[in-house]
Amino acid sequence: MLKELFPNVVIEDLLVATGETFYMTLLAMVGTVIFGVLLGLLLYLTSNGGLWENKGLNILVATIVNIFRAIPFIILILLLIPFTTFLMGTFRGSNAALPALIIGAAPFYARLVEIGLREVDKGVIEAAQSMGAKAKTIIFKVLLPESMPALVSGATVTAIALIGSTAVAGVIGAGGLGDFAYYHGFVRRDFDVVFVCTVLIIIIVFIFQFLGDLITKKLDKR
């Protein structure tokens, strides 16, 4: 039955491609969260009235974030080929896609982190200051824990955008479902392959959204 409906789908290849999509998304997420939180904190702390208020640095970081957010991912990945080659030794394969994925997603996530941090009650920060807390304590014991649900739901949105980007990364032969759908499906006119890849990507997106919502709900004690 399945063989008749999808005559050109090879399960083993499909599983490999799905694995690659997960691999790229998860690894890129790790990098995105690290750089995104750092940049988001920097944006928040250096802003007007922030703990490290610094107009110059704020404008600098905001500009960098805005530039990288403005570049369409397909162009970014091509622009970064020299950098990727220098960093990873090659610009093909799943690992080679990571720098571009992270550089594309981190600024986006940084903005979501900044928004999440802004939601933290100013009064609570003030209370911590009145107890004599250091900036480090305020960051790690007040700002990050109090904004955690926003950080996680922001990460969910970012991860789903990243799944889309991994598919685009197929153009540099990154592997994954996007690559598979294009080279094994579209190019050979085997549209059943394209269809199955699409369904799989949708399922992956649903899984991420479900998990993200679940964790956000668990964390939110408000």
Least distance CB 128 / other proteins (angstroms)? 7
Contact criterion met (CB below 8 Å) for 125 and 142: yes
Contact criterion met (CB below 8 Å) for 216 and 152: yes
| 129 or 209: CB nearest other proteins | 129
Coil vs helix vs strand at 92: coil
* Binding mask of the shown chain, residues 107 to 146, with x at each position contacting other proteins by CB under 8 A: --------------x-xx-xxxxxxxxx--x---xx--xx
Contact criterion met (CB below 8 Å) for 96 and 90: yes
Least distance CB 129 / other proteins (angstroms)? 6
Rounded to whole angstroms, how far apart are CA atoms 145 and 19?
Answer: 32
Size of the site for other proteins (CB under 8 A): 21
| 86 or 140: CB nearest other proteins | 140
| 72 or 132: CB nearest other proteins | 132
Coil vs helix vs strand at 67: helix
Contact criterion met (CB below 8 Å) for 43 and 112: no
Residue 16: CB atoms within 10 Å: 14
Least distance CB 132 / other proteins (angstroms)? 4
| 146 or 179: CB nearest other proteins | 146
Of these, 148, 157, 160, 161, which contacts other proteins (CB under 8 A)? 148
In the range 34-63, which residues lie near other proteins by CB under 8 A? none
* Binding mask of the shown chain, residues 202 to 221, with x at each position contacting other proteins by CB under 8 A: -----------------x-x
| 53 or 126: CB nearest other proteins | 126
Least distance CB 221 / other proteins (angstroms)? 4
- Residue by residue, DSSP assigns 72-133 as -HHHHHHHTHHHHHHHHS-SSSHHHHHHHHHHHHHHHHHHHHHHHHHTS-HHHHHHHHHTT-
* CA 83 to mean position of chain CA atoms: 20
Q: Is 189 in the site for other proteins (CB under 8 A)?
A: no
Q: Which two tokens stand for residue 123?
A: 């009064």
Binding interface with other proteins (CB under 8 A): 121, 123-124, 126-134, 137, 141-142, 145-146, 148, 219, 221-222
